[in-house]
Every structure is written in structure tokens, then in C-alpha cells.
Amino acid sequence: MFYKISVIMPALNEESNIGMAVEDVASVFKRIGCSGEIIIVNDGSADKTEAVSRELMNKYPFIRMICHDRPQGIGASFWEGVAEAKGELVTMFPGDGENDSYEILRYLHLMDQVDIIVPFIYNKQARSWQRRLISKIYKAIINISFRLLLNYMNGTVVYRRSVLQTLTLKNKGFFYQAELLIGAIRKGYLYAEVPCAIKKRAVGKSKALTLKSFFRVAWGYLSALVSVNWPSQSVPIAPDSVTALRYRELLNYEKY
């Protein structure tokens, strides 16, 4: 099936990287014949991220931009981008250019069978041993706490947009990725895990390992524990999702 995808691209002080990140996605759109859009979310950058983004908008008609007066967090940026998205599918590529977009967009055909594509990194040497260690600990805590068996939670996950419309996002920081995955999987949506490679960051340092990010992740984790154990009124799964379709097929099969 042919899908249109919305790529949400949060960027905070990424004037040196945003151009490379956009060009990478644009080239893959052309390479795989994908219809898509890029929504840059300039999250209160103090550098020339906005100016560089406007130059890219002049070059590519499928780019739009949302600007924040001050940083609101990657989770808030993603969720605002989702609200503006026009594609049937939605994913997030950070504006730091660390992700090779072909590594996840090459799997779009799997969306014929599932509602979520979850990547895991197979070239782990692209990151420092400290970050790999933190990722292992983080993965173990999330999997044990929420009874999951995921290989990775913080990648460029592809969602059917209607799935996201049945979820509520509370976390504005980096934990938003785990929060959405936990909510979607616990709700019963079908997903597939796929191997993906990442590139080394060209310029600057990651903002994921700051002390501020750590406290936001810790707070998001505690909030998720509460919402899972004491859930509010549940929203049914999206009727146009593959999951709903396959359950209907199963029910029809069992009648015979």
C-alpha cells in the first residue's frame, strides 16, 4: 500500500545539523518514491536554526515549520507536530542528523500488517560505551516495570497517526518515546521490531544525557507507572487500524 508520512523534526540549536538532517530525509523520499512532509519544530533555538530552516522551506515545498519562543521539550515538540501532521503515518527524526532515515523508512511496507514499527540499533559501536551502558540499564528497567520485551525504546518509531489519536501524552521530555510505546503496546496495537543503523553525530553534543533530561525521564517513568496501574477511562483502539482490521478478520474466521 502507498502511504504518506509526516516526519516531525524537533530542533534545539541545530543550525549546523538541521540542513543535513532535512537533506537526508528528502533524498530518501525520492529514493523510495515516498510521499511525505517534514515538519520542523524549532524548539526555542537561540542560534540560526530558524533561519536555516526557512532556507530549506524555500527549497522544498513539503517542509513546514513550527516555532516556539522558548524550549518546551522534545516530547512537546513531537506532539505538536503530530497535531499538525497530514500524513497517514508519523515518525520523528531529531534535527541533529544522527539518524539515517532510510534505515527506518525502508520498512514502511510493514505497515500493511502492523500499526507500529519499532527500530533497534544494531551498530551499537556508533555510540560511546557510557551511552550504551545507560541504554542497557534503561531498557531493563522499562521492560521489567511494564512487562515488555522490547530491544529499544528511544528510536525513530513509525506510528499510524490514528493510533496516536487514541493515546494521551503527558511527558514533554525524552521519556515521551517510551510513554507512547508503553501505552500503544499495552492497548494491544500490533507492532514489528526492525534492525536499524545510526550515524555518529556530526556537530555538537546530544541533549539526551543532561541532568535536566535525567530528572524529566525519572518523572516520566513514575508518571507512567501510576497511569498503568491506575488507568483512567480507556479509549478504544482506532477502528481504521490494522490491529482492529485483523481482529475483525479473526472474529469472522472463528464463526466458521
3-state DSSP: the chain helix, strand, coil percent, rounded to 5?
45, 15, 40
Say if residue 43's pLDDT is above 80: yes
Say if residue 194's pLDDT is above 80: yes
Say if residue 65's pLDDT is above 50: yes
More confident residue, 52 or 251: 52
Q: What's the pLDDT score for residue 219? A: 81
Domain ranges, residue 60: 4-254
Q: What's the pLDDT score for residue 191? A: 97
Domain tally for the chain? 1
More confident residue, 146 or 126: 146
Three cell numbers at 82? 503530530
E-strand ranges in the chain read 4-11, 35-43, 63-68, 89-92, 116-121, 158-160, 191-196
CATH number, domain containing residue 236 = 3.90.550.10
Say if residue 206's pLDDT is above 80: no
Say if residue 90's pLDDT is above 60: yes
Q: What's the pLDDT score for residue 211? A: 66
